[in-house]
Structure 1
Amino acid sequence: MTGFFHETAFYGSDDGFLAHAVPFVEAGLRAAEPTVVACGEQNAGLLRGALGSGTGVMYLPGADQYARPSEAIANYRALFAEHTVSGARQMRVVGDVPHPGTGAPWDWWARYEAAVNLAYAEFPVWGLCPYDTRTTPADVLADVVRTHPNIATAPGEHEVNPGYREGPAASRQVPDVLEQSAPLIEMVDPSAGAVREAVGTAIETISLSEDDAHDVVYAASEIVTNGLTHGVAPVRFRLWADEARVVVAVTDHGPGPSDPLVGLMPTTETLSAGLGLWILHRTCDYVSMGRDADGFTVRASVGSQS
């Protein structure tokens, strides 16, 4: 095969998961293809029990591999490149992508599922993304259908997905729970320096680590700079916080970036917003980007849920 074969499968029981995943993994092992399992503890345990030990499967802890979309892409690309250089003609990956049913916000993972069609296109990889219908919300399942060119309609049956739609996933701007209160800071068309000073003062009493505090100030400054440089005025900056977490949001009236990979992969184009947004995606605990009735908003959160 050539390029990335991106496939999903839906299941509603542990046996249903194994019916899709076990033949997929076993076929890769028989063909001596590098085969990766990056699943949560439950599904990884099911596969270990079904396949036995010493099979040659590379198990990656799902919580680590899917900590952030940008990290998942960077780690997978490095792994795929390593095996390609070593002569692999095809690789296989079965992975549990996080979603609200597993306790993770979905927007940036929806972007991930759409973006990897481009991000992994240069590698001969067959990626299987199984989703548990017992825990996956209906709107997430709809996004999964739209972002996967191929679908396993039944174990062993691999078909072109008629529901696939090329391009970025639709963004749903979901305000953070902290946004139910009035913002601690609200500024219109501020300079990046003014934002850094205001944010630094506002978070002095919040229980953040030194790294998290630095990440908040950087995120606020970078998002405002992108809005002022690439967006359409007015650019509105807001900040909310509780005892251990900070949320910043910047809204402008432009269309937002056209690159579906922006923030998820680094860029060498110094005049684009890609590099700064990529750093945000590597350091913040959550980043969402999209349009709603108020305009185009970039939202980032840092810190632990109280």
Structure 2
Amino acid sequence: MAGTHPGAAGPEPFTHPALFYRDEREYLAGVLPFVTGALDAADPVAVVVPPDNLALLRAALGADAGRVVMLDMTEVGRNPGHLIPGVLLAFADRHPGGHVRIVGEPVWAARSVHEYPACARHEALINHAFAGRTVTILCPYHVGSLTPKTLTDALRTHPLVVDATGRHVSDRYDPDAVVSACNRPLPPPEGATAVTVETIGLPALRRVAARLAARAGLGAERVEDVALTLTELAGNSIEHGGGTARVLLGTAGEHLVCQVRDSGRLADPLAGSRPAGPGQLRGRGLLLVHHLADLVRTYTGPAGTCVEASFRLGH
């Protein structure tokens, strides 16, 4: 995809600024006028941030907090790949025809190194997913607790930056370069059980996945989620990835890791990031996986594609 520059001079109605803040005062100075300005204009506004900042904004808004959709990012955004289709576009689509405003804070200090590439990719893909829409998404970044690389990536995924000194155009804006940088090979989980879905069918894969997920300690509902995730991914691989899916299941830290590999190439970075349309029967597989898993990462290269879905043990 060619890199657009939303928010810069030109006709593009989508705006995607990053807010660099150092403390609660700067956070409120940047976010509160954004939210109250939306309320004054009768624009729909949503705030999707971690719990501490959610509480800070609720207290500052007082009675007006009830007029704002407020969501805990650690819950709805536990998988960054779910945010665009399941939260941000879903909110915007409920309010067609006007100016939609959203505060989204997908990166905070407690995000793991394992999760971060999916966060950076999410921030980059927002620019393409919302191109042409009359939407503003403000993304706060706490400069005191985040790494220099994270802040550099924010400059590459946001065409505008707001800080204590004012509003600036980012001369490093290049979201496609971030998407490319996040497309890195995914190592197989250690001690993984490997199954080729050609030797066995999808019903047998479902049984194997359920058994291994239960053995790893997941509850009945999450066991079903793992089984459904793997059958959806394997089915996609069989249909679009050369007719064979190689499935690996193992654990990494506190997660059950499920990988599906095939010889196809995933050409569309936004695959799985578009909400399903009314009556849409196909193209829901990766979208469903993003909804079910705690983290989804993808790699596609000359030799094929790997989709990795992780499920937090004990969650």
Place the TM-score, normalised by the shorter chain, in its bin.
Answer: 0.7 to 0.9
C-alpha separation in 1, matches of 2:166 and 2:33: 8
Matched residue type, 2:267: S
* 2:289 counterpart SS class: helix
1:262 corresponding residue in structure 2 = 271
User: Does 2:280 align with 1:280?
Assistant: no
Following TM superposition, by how much is the alpha carbon of 1:237 offset from its aligned partner in structure 2, in angstroms? Answer: 2.2
2:139 corresponding residue in structure 1 = 129
1:73 corresponding residue in structure 2 = 85
User: Does 2:151 align with 1:141?
Assistant: yes
* 1:3 counterpart SS class: coil
Q: TM-score, normalised by structure 2?
A: 0.77
Per-residue Cα deviation, 1:20-49 (whole angstroms, up to 9, x for no partner): 223323433443433332222222233344
Q: 1:94 to 1:204 in 2, by over 3 A?
A: closer
- Cα RMSD of the aligned pairs, angstroms, is 3.6
Q: Could you tell me whether the CA contact under 8 Å between 2:197 and 2:205 is conserved in 1?
A: no
C-alpha separation in 1, matches of 2:66 and 2:96: 18
Is there any run of 5+ residues in structure 1 with no aligned partner, and where? none
1:302 corresponding residue in structure 2 = 311
* 2:86 counterpart SS class: helix
C-alpha separation in 1, matches of 2:18 and 2:149: 15
Matched residue type, 1:6: H
Aligned with 2:240 (options 220, 226, 230): 230
2:45 corresponding residue in structure 1 = 35
Q: Could you tell me whether the CA contact under 8 Å between 1:239 and 1:248 is conserved in 2?
A: yes
Following TM superposition, by how much is the alpha carbon of 1:10 offset from its aligned partner in structure 2, in angstroms? Answer: 1.5
1:14 corresponding residue in structure 2 = 24
Is there any run of 5+ residues in structure 2 with no aligned partner, and where? 1-10
Q: How does 1:116-195 map to 2 (within 5 A)?
A: 116-154=126-164, 156-157=166-167, 159-167=168-176, 169=179, 170-171=181-182, 173=184, 179=189, 181-187=190-196, 190-193=199-202, 194-195=204-205
Where does structure 1 differ by over 6 angstroms across 4 or more consecutive aligned residues?
A: 268-272
Aligned with 1:218 (options 193, 218, 228): 228
Per-residue Cα deviation, 1:115-156 (whole angstroms, up to 9, x for no partner): 222333353221110111223233333332222222225454
Q: TM-score, normalised by structure 1?
A: 0.79
* 2:15 counterpart SS class: strand
Matched residue type, 2:182: S
Q: Could you tell me whether the CA contact under 8 Å between 1:37 and 1:57 is conserved in 2?
A: no
Following TM superposition, by how much is the alpha carbon of 1:258 offset from its aligned partner in structure 2, in angstroms? Answer: 1.6
1:54 corresponding residue in structure 2 = 64
Matched residue type, 1:240: G
Matched residue type, 1:82: R
Aligned with 1:5 (options 7, 15, 19): 15
Q: 1:188 to 1:2 in 2, by over 3 A?
A: closer
Q: Identity over aligned residues, as a percent?
A: 28
Q: How does 1:94-109 map to 2 (within 5 A)?
A: 94-99=103-108, 101-103=110-112, 105-109=115-119
C-alpha separation in 2, matches of 1:7 and 1:190: 50
C-alpha separation in 2, matches of 1:299 and 1:10: 31
Q: 1:263 to 1:31 in 2, by over 3 A?
A: same
Q: 1:213 to 1:9 in 2, by over 3 A?
A: same
C-alpha separation in 2, matches of 1:132 and 1:243: 27
Q: Could you tell me whether the CA contact under 8 Å between 2:194 and 2:246 is conserved in 1?
A: no
* 2:31 counterpart SS class: helix
Q: 1:12 to 1:244 in 2, by over 3 A?
A: closer
Q: Could you tell me whether the CA contact under 8 Å between 2:295 and 2:311 is conserved in 1?
A: yes
